Structure 1
Amino acid sequence: MDMDLKDIIEFLHATARSVGAEVTSPWFYLQLGLILAATGIAWAAGAAVRSRFDVTSLATGWPVPFRLFMRVLVGSAPTAVFAVLVTIARGVMLASTWPSRSYLLAVAAKLAFAWLIIRLITSVIRNAFIVRLVSLSAWLIAALSIVGQLDPAIEALDSVSVVLGGLRLTPLLLIKLGALLIVALWLTNIASNFVENRITRSSDLTPSIQVLLVKMIRMGLIVLAITIALGAVGINLSALAVFSGAVGVGIGIGLQKIVANFISGIILLADKSVKPGDLVTIGDSSGRISAMKTRYISVAAGDGREFLIPNEDLVTQKVVNWTYTDKNTLVKIAFGTNYDADPRLVCKLAVDTAAAAPRTIKGKPPNCILTEFAEVGMKFSLTFWIADPDGMDNVKSDVMLALWDGFKREGIRVPYPVRELRIHGGALPVETVVEVSG
């Protein structure tokens, strides 16, 4: 460790001497001035290019990778102009003086070209965070290589280590592992999306089996990618056994709900009790299942809201699936009339009204029964079948409006309570009399 510290100190001293000698030279300020001038010209050229090209509509209709490439190319116009100008200045100085007097221009041009190439290559990545991370990391490596400090930086990162259970962890190892994981998971995402598109296009598989296969393949690819990345950096999986106890405790205490929801999601997909497209009622939430995720299902209410319900709730709670085996739905309407009406006429009128509804199933005739002789009048129950539960409330409303028109036409009145307040002596007590008016 002492030897490493001496090497680092000597390296810093040598670097300080080199920088000091470079800064005191008048050629340094000439190169710096040329770089600043090229920066100003490149900024102005980039502004002119952006004003002539609409980046948002550029290459509209092209495939996504080519469209992203063109947008990055236009956005990187200042970098390209800067690299060209600095390269020209470097060539002029090489023709007129010693190469060492234009070293700073060479470094600036190489850094600009490296950034331009990296941005064009990463244009195929859609995730903005991954693009920034990959671009900055690759440019930092290129910069260290250009100034000749890549090998010393690698040695410095590998000189500091922590040994855990026979596993030697260094900053260099973690950086390599992180880079490989990013690349492996990105490739895994591309492969899983391709497989998902092929599976969802298959008409031979039910929606539940499609979702189950996609999840299993995605999880398998992720595990495979992590295993390959660990093996590529030289980490033996058996060396991670020391962490298994802590991970098990963490899963048992902190990740109970996550694991329970994941297992519940697998159970739901396997037993096919619910599937995408089903109309369900879970507690106070009703709607159609739009997606089934690893941790939850998404239920679209039809009014712009989506309920995200944990998978565990579907396994442990009561769930009403309106379309589990049959989409036919029984619609019930309760109503009442006064005692002046003929109950047989009321039942016939209700049955005829429900039968005339467009969505009523013709093979299952409606039914109306008298359920109660109540204090306020007679109570009836009308039932009829529709082929799909979607819009059931609208169907009920249409039938009730048509039934109201039929009551008006036949002179049938619906009872409603009327309250009359009588005040004796101009003060309390107040006597309340309830009358029923038809």
Structure 2
Amino acid sequence: MARRADDIGKQLRDFEALLVPGQAIEAIEKRLPEIAVQITSQTQAADRLLDEQPGAPTLDGLTAQWQTTRAELVGYVTVLAGRATAIEKALAHLTAQQKTWTQARADAQASRAPAQVVERIDSVLADMAGSRTRLQAQRAATLVLQDRAAQEVTRCEAVLERVAALQRGVAGRLLERDGVPLWEIGQLASAVTELPDRIRNAAAAGRTQLREFVQGQRRVIAAQVALFLGLALLMGAARRRAAQWAQSGETAASMRVFDRPISSALVLTVLVSGWIYLTTPARAVVALGQVLVLVPALKVTRLSLDPTLVRPLYVVGAFFLAELVRHFASTVPLLGQQVFLLEMLAGMVVLTWWLASRRRRGAADTITSRERALRPAARVVLVTFAAAFVVGAAGNMSLGLLLGSGVLGNGYLALVLYAGIRVADGLVAFALRVRPLCVLGMVQRHRPLLERRAHGLLRGLTIAGWAVFALKYFGLWGAAVELTEAALGAHLRRGSLSISLGDVLEFAVTAGAAILLSGLVRFVLEEDVYPRLQLGRGLAQALSSLLHYGLVLVGFLLALAALGVDLTKITILAGAFGVGIGFGLQTVVNNFVSGLLIVFERRIKVGDAVQIADVAGRVEQLGMRACTVRTWEGAEVIVPNASLIAEKVTNWTLSDRLRRIDVGVGVAYGTPPEKMLDILLAVARAHPLVLPDPAPVALFLGFGDSALRFELRAWIDRFDLWVQTQSELAVALYTALGEAGFEIPLPQHEVRLRRA
């Protein structure tokens, strides 16, 4: 009885841990009232927005916003459900134990057990009753909290369902008349009469939205202002440094954006606002932000344009501004329609004039290549504006806005994104010229390459983002996603083999990513890590090669797994590969294994001067199958790795770069040998590249047929200059012999004639 009572005490203490809500539950209790107020405010804003029958991009944005909120709430419901389940299990266990201990008490009383035993049982039952009461209270509180979270999920789903219904009807509304045709004077006059009241109501609603936004987002706005000020100070400091670099000729063209520090800072601040605000701001707030960033984007873009395109840029900026005003005025449908028609009409006039003027200039051969490239796009935009004007004048504003505003809206986004790229390029160029990046070897030697790579990455991401926005604006994003999923999911089956385009794409992307990662890692190691380490000869190349092979192998295995290949059956592939080796790949494998031996033995490395059979030159590259040797004559010879293992290889630079130079000479009989040896040594010591250690040596080799033979042996540590040094020593020796009056005899032959 005592042991079981102790066990129950332990279980009750474990159950007491469930009574503590924990950090997750406390966070939910704190967050749920806030999110309820947020959902109420967002629901009101969404109702106003949905009543205006917005386009596909706005509906997609609302969907993403509400799905994010719903996902957060669903996570809360899951956590609370888990806690409620754990408490329920504890209560069920307590109920079973209470029955057991109640029966034990009855048995103890029936058997007239000692009073102490009955009291112990009563104490255990009392503890269980108290624990049960507290657990029930926690369960009730958890279920209430879970129900509140579930109610908020229901509210989110209601808004999402309404948005989905509008999304399904977007395409159908394109052919409906939702405006006032210009030729229906009665409707137009009635709408004009109501126009002042509508403008006042819209202005009041806009002020209310701005006030609510400022009140509800004070901290976020303060953070955004702080970000803008920090970026502005950074741009100002960068401008001063760029001016100093310009005086020494070290500046880059991309850093010209720092001439407009305030504009550059404002462009970046607005672009990152999407990650700062968790919810989509109201229409008035968005419109105000778009107007504020337009002029800075024009100023930044102007810095990188051809002077002939500056005026057209400002004209395009005026149309973008008119489109922003039209978007803000669209809360009053008639006003928005009139502004839109004026936009389209003005656009047609300007484009027609521009095309006509360029046609006249083109006949005189004064048009630039960029202007010539813009003419086809201008013709397409002109036709689009004309179509938008016609359908808008007929009262079909949905289709007109899709065409006309689609061109202007996507063009405006392209302008702002381009300005953002230019600012980002400038920041990258600045970062690569200041600490800590400027001290890196790869930055010092490859700064232009890194700047081009960063620009290419930014441009690719920007184009992808712009394309996604354009597809969403025209309502094609869903269809594009479905088409892509269908294409990637289509399977080709042949017997037990099943493969899809998505599998092939995953294989290619994984293998390509492994190769790119290997190249990046080797680049960083070779440029910045190895030069800082005291590695042995050839060890850096061995490590890089091993790392390359390892990363490529791992990437290939991951690519096979992505392709759907069962890696447990890789032994079958290895066996088939072995059969292939046995029949036809001996040479390839021999060269590959020889390449590995070369890498690990480190007897030959890139840059060595070698002699392989009749090939003499410098090693340019060590590959998996062969190495490349550039001969002294300039030819590149591909030498299989197996030849480096099987044949005799002379490596002139294996342990050092010393090279001995031998210069032989013959002088006439009668020349004092001691003086000749002194002349040889003097010539060697006078040359700047001849090393004092090992010291040059002058030798008297013997007696020739026509001359006394001498030889000068000198050492240099510049292997690449040994031929030139040998020539210079020979010239100096010839000059010294002439000054000393020593003769270099010609071969002499004595011919004797005998009378037959």
Into which bin does the TM-score normalised by the smaller protein fall?
A: 0.5 to 0.7
The worse-fitting range, judged by mean Cα deviation, of 266-275 and 133-142 is 133-142
Q: Distance in 1 between matches of 2:686 and 2:634?
A: 32
Q: CA deviation at 1:334?
A: 1.9
Q: Distance in 2 between matches of 1:351 and 1:241?
A: 69
Alignment of 1:53-68 (within 5 A): 57-59=253-255
**CA radius of gyration, larger in:** 2
Q: CA deviation at 1:213?
A: 0.8
Counterpart amino acid of residue 366 in structure 1:
V
1:278 touches 1:289 (CA, 8 Å); kept in 2?
yes
What's 1:10 paired with?
Answer: none
Pair 1:412–1:230, CA change in 2 (3 A): same
CA-based RMSD: 5.4
Q: CA deviation at 1:209?
A: 0.9
Q: Distance in 2 between matches of 1:140 and 1:210?
A: 44
Deviations 1:343-402 (A, max 9, x none): 55434433443344441435545131234523x444333323344534222332232223
Pair 1:256–1:125, CA change in 2 (3 A): farther
1:349 touches 1:406 (CA, 8 Å); kept in 2?
yes
Pair 1:362–1:189, CA change in 2 (3 A): closer
Pair 1:125–1:236, CA change in 2 (3 A): farther
What's 2:402 paired with?
Answer: 103
User: Alignment partner of 1:194: what SS?
Assistant: helix
Q: CA deviation at 1:292?
A: 4.3
Q: CA deviation at 1:215?
A: 1.6
Counterpart amino acid of residue 732 in structure 2:
A
Alignment of 1:225-304 (within 5 A): 225-232=555-562, 234-237=564-567, 259-282=589-612, 286-289=616-619, 292-294=622-624, 297=627
Which structure: greater strand fraction?
A: 1
Q: Distance in 1 between matches of 2:563 and 2:458?
A: 23
Query: Is 1:175 aligned to residue 175 of structure 2?
Result: no
User: Alignment partner of 1:341: what SS?
Assistant: coil
What's 1:215 paired with?
Answer: 545
Query: Is 1:353 aligned to residue 677 of structure 2?
Result: no
1:89 touches 1:105 (CA, 8 Å); kept in 2?
no
Query: Is 1:203 aligned to residue 502 of structure 2?
Result: no
Listed as ranges, the gaps of 5+ residues in structure 1 are: 1-17, 28-54, 420-432, 434-438
What's 2:654 paired with?
Answer: 324
Percent identity, please: 23
Counterpart amino acid of residue 255 in structure 2:
A
Q: Distance in 2 between matches of 1:192 and 1:372?
A: 59
Which structure: greater helix fraction?
A: 2
User: Alignment partner of 1:368: what SS?
Assistant: strand
1:297 touches 1:311 (CA, 8 Å); kept in 2?
yes
Pair 1:275–1:86, CA change in 2 (3 A): farther
Q: Distance in 2 between matches of 1:115 and 1:164?
A: 50
What's 1:39 paired with?
Answer: none
Alignment of 1:7-406 (within 5 A): 57-59=253-255, 84=320, 88=324, 91=327, 95-96=336-337, 98-105=397-404, 107-108=406-407, 113=413, 120=421, 126=453, 146-147=475-476, 148-158=478-488, 160-164=490-494, 166-183=496-513, 185-232=515-562, 234-237=564-567, 259-282=589-612, 286-289=616-619, 292-294=622-624, 297=627, 311-343=641-673, 345-358=675-688, 359-362=690-693, 364-374=695-705, 376-406=706-736
2:664 touches 2:711 (CA, 8 Å); kept in 1?
yes
Q: Distance in 2 between matches of 1:281 and 1:158?
A: 54
1:211 touches 1:292 (CA, 8 Å); kept in 2?
no
User: Alignment partner of 1:391: what SS?
Assistant: helix
Q: Distance in 1 between matches of 2:465 and 2:700?
A: 78
Deviations 1:66-87 (A, max 9, x none): 9xx999x958x99996894795
User: Alignment partner of 1:324: what SS?
Assistant: coil
Counterpart amino acid of residue 126 in structure 1:
R
Pair 1:324–1:153, CA change in 2 (3 A): same
Deviations 1:159-198 (A, max 9, x none): 6421257442222333344445545544454344334445
Pair 1:154–1:328, CA change in 2 (3 A): closer
Q: Distance in 2 between matches of 1:166 and 1:86?
A: 62
The worse-fitting range, judged by mean Cα deviation, of 93-102 and 400-409 is 93-102
Pair 1:60–1:276, CA change in 2 (3 A): farther
Q: CA deviation at 1:220?
A: 1.8
1:366 touches 1:383 (CA, 8 Å); kept in 2?
yes
What's 1:44 paired with?
Answer: none
Counterpart amino acid of residue 398 in structure 2:
P
Q: Distance in 1 between matches of 2:700 and 2:578?
A: 61
Q: CA deviation at 1:149?
A: 0.9
Q: CA deviation at 1:408?
A: 1.4
Q: Distance in 1 between matches of 2:507 and 2:682?
A: 73
Between the two proteins, the alignment pairs up a number of residues equal to: 369
User: Alignment partner of 1:379: what SS?
Assistant: strand
1:87 touches 1:105 (CA, 8 Å); kept in 2?
no
Q: Distance in 1 between matches of 2:565 and 2:407?
A: 38
User: Alignment partner of 2:254: what SS?
Assistant: coil
Q: Distance in 2 between matches of 1:255 and 1:110?
A: 60
Q: Which has the higher contact order (CA 8 A, sep 6+)?
A: 2
Q: CA deviation at 1:23?
A: 10
Q: Distance in 2 between matches of 1:105 and 1:389?
A: 71
2:616 touches 2:632 (CA, 8 Å); kept in 1?
no
1:90 touches 1:105 (CA, 8 Å); kept in 2?
no
Deviations 1:311-340 (A, max 9, x none): 444334433222323544332112222335
User: Alignment partner of 2:596: what SS?
Assistant: helix
Deviations 1:20-63 (A, max 9, x none): x97999x9xxxxxxxxxxxxxxxxxxxxxxxxxxx97222899x
Q: Distance in 2 between matches of 1:313 and 1:334?
A: 34
